[in-house]
Structure 1
Amino acid sequence: MAHEVQTDLRVRRTHHFLQEAMIELITEKGFESITVGDIAERAMINRATFYRHYQDKYDLVVKIFEEAANHLVEDMKPFHKDIDPGEKEENLVGIWSQLFEHVAEHARLYRAMLGKNGSPWFAARMREHTIKLMLEKERRWKHQVEPSQPIDPAMPPELPVMQLSHVLIGTIVWWLESEKRYTPRQMATWFYRFAFYGYLSARGYEVPLPGKDR
C-alpha cells in the first residue's frame, strides 16, 4: 500500500513538472514551436520518462482538460420535469463551478493555450470533447427524461451542442483575459443562464426561466 502511494505521488509530481515546463515554454515561444525535448529538458527529466506518461505534447495538454470535463459531465444527472427550477439551477451551477474552479487552478495553462501564442488546435479539441461528452450524456438520459416536441424537428442534435461548446470556450477566454476578477461561481451562474436555457429550449425541453412561475 505504501509503495502504491509513493508511486502515485511520483506520477503526480512528474505530471506537475511537465505541465509547469510546458506552460513556461508556451509563454516564451508559443505552443507550435515547442518540442517534447524542450519540455523534458525544462522539466529536468528524460524523454523516455515523458513518453511513459504522454504520447506527445498534444496529449499532455489535452489530458488536463479532458479529465476535468469527464468528471464534470459524470456529475450531471437528469431532472424530473416537476423539480423546482431554482433547485435545478442551484445544482447545475454548482457542477459547472467545478469546471471554472479547474480553469482558475490551471489559469496559466489555459491562458497560454487559448491566448495569442496558444494553439487553435487546443481550443478545437476542447470544443470537440465537450460536444462528445454532452451528446453521450443526453443519450443516457433519454430513457429517463423525454423532451417535449422540438421547436424545429429538423435541427441536427449536434448543432445546439456545438453552439454551447463555442459559448463555453468564449466564456473561459473572456474570464481569463479579465484576470479572473469574478469568482468561478459567478462565471458558472452566468454561463449556465445564458447557454443552457437557449440550449435546452433548442433541444425541445420545457425550460422555465429563472425567477418565473411555471
Structure 2
Amino acid sequence: MSHEEQIDLRIRRTHRFLQEAMIELIAEKGFEAITVGDIAERAMINRATFYRHYQDKYDLVARIFEETADSLVKHMKPFHKDADKKDLEHPPEIWVQVFEHVAEQSQLYRAMLGKNGSSWFTARMREYIVKLILENEQRWKPSAGSRQRIDPAMPEALPVMQLSHALIGTIVWWLESEKLYTPRQVATWFWRSAFYGYLSARGYEVPLQSDKGKTTLPKLADDLGQGLHGL
C-alpha cells in the first residue's frame, strides 16, 4: 500500500468514527445538546483532528446526509417496467429499494429523523425529496396527454411539499414500529396512498379503473418513480 493510500485509509476511518459517534450521541442525548467535544471524545480523537475534517457538527451532519443520499442513488438497481404489475399492490421497484436502503441504514435514520434527531438533517432530506420530485416531474407531465387540470389554482409548491412530508413520516413511523413490516409492504402502502393524493393535489383527474376494470395507479406516477435513476 502506497503512502497516499495509507493516508486516504486513515481519513476514511476517521470520518467513519466521527459519523458513528455522532449517530450514537444523537440517539442518546439529542442533536442540540451535542458538542464537538462530545463527538471527539466518543470517537476517541482530539478536537483539532475533528476540525481538520469538519467545520462544526452541522457540517458533519451535512456530510452524513450527502454520503447517504449518494449511496441511495448509487446502489439502486436498474428499473424495469412490468406491464403486469402496475396495480396498487405492486409499487415500482424503485420505491421498494428506497425502503430497503432505509432498513440497511436504520440506525442513522432512526437517530437523525427521530424525536432526538437533527431538524437540520430532516430539512435537508425534505429539500432533497422536493428537488427529486420537481426535477423528474417533467418526465411524467407529457404522459398526462390531454388530461386537463381540475384544480389549476392550487399552488404548485404545496402538493410536492405534502408528498415529501408523507415520505419522511412513513419512514419515521416504520422505524418507530421497529420495522415489523418489510420494505416491500411499506413501499406498497406509501405508493398506494401518497401518489393518488399527490396527483390529485396537483390538479389531475386520476382514473381509478383500467380498461379491464382492474384498479391501477396512473402511468405518470409510475414514470415519476423511474425518474430517480436520472439523478
TM range (shorter): 0.7 to 0.9
1:117 partner letter: N
1:97/1:184 contact within 8 Å kept: yes
Could you list the per-position Cα deviations for residues 34-82 of structure 1 after superposition, in whole angstroms to 9, with x for gaps in the alignment? 12222122112344443454443223234434444466579799999xx
Structure 2 counterparts to residues 1-214 of structure 1, below 5 A: 9-69=9-69, 84=83, 86-87=85-86, 93-139=92-138, 141=139, 145-146=143-144, 148-205=147-204, 207-209=206-208, 211-212=214-215
The letter for the 1-side match of 2:50 is F
Runs of 4+ in 1 over 6 A off after TM superposition: 1-5, 73-80, 88-91
Describe the shift of the 1:188–1:54 C-alpha distance in structure 2 as closer, same or farther (beyond 3 A): farther
- How far the C-alpha of 1:27 sits from its partner, in A, is 2.5
Q: Is the 8 A contact 1:197 1:209 kept in 2?
A: no
CA distance 1:60–1:100, shift in 2 (3 Å): farther
**Which AA in structure 2 matches 1:135?**
L
- Contact 1:101–1:184 (Cα < 8 Å) also in 2: yes
- Between the aligned partners of 1:157 and 1:167, the Cα distance in structure 2 is 16
- Does structure 2 conserve the Cα–Cα contact (< 8 Å) formed by 1:197 and 1:207? yes
Q: Taking every aligned residue pair, what percent have the same amino acid on both sides? A: 70
| Structure number having the greater helix percentage | 1
> 2:148·2:205 contact (CA, 8 Å) conserved in 1?
no
The alpha-carbon deviation at position 96 of structure 1 amounts to: 1.8
CA distance in 2, matches of 1:197, 1:85: 19
Q: Per the alignment, do residues 143 and 28 of structure 1 end up closer, same or farther by CA in structure 2, a change over 3 Å counting?
A: closer
Q: CA deviation at 1:9?
A: 4.6
SS state at 2:180 partner: coil
Q: C-alpha deviations, 1:108-127, integer Å up to 9, x for none?
A: 22222222322333323322
Alignment size in residue pairs? 211
Amino acid at match of 1:120: S
Distance 1:71 1:43, change over 3 A: closer
Give the TM-score normalised by the residue count of structure 1.
0.76
Q: Which amino acid aligns with 1:17?
A: F
Q: So what's the TM-score if we normalise by structure 2? A: 0.71
Q: List runs of 5+ in structure 2 lacking aligned partners.
A: 219-231
CA distance in 2, matches of 1:96, 1:5: 37
Matched-pair contact (CA < 8 Å) for 2:159–2:202 = yes
Residue 14 of structure 2 aligns with an amino acid whose one-letter code is T
RMSD: 3.7
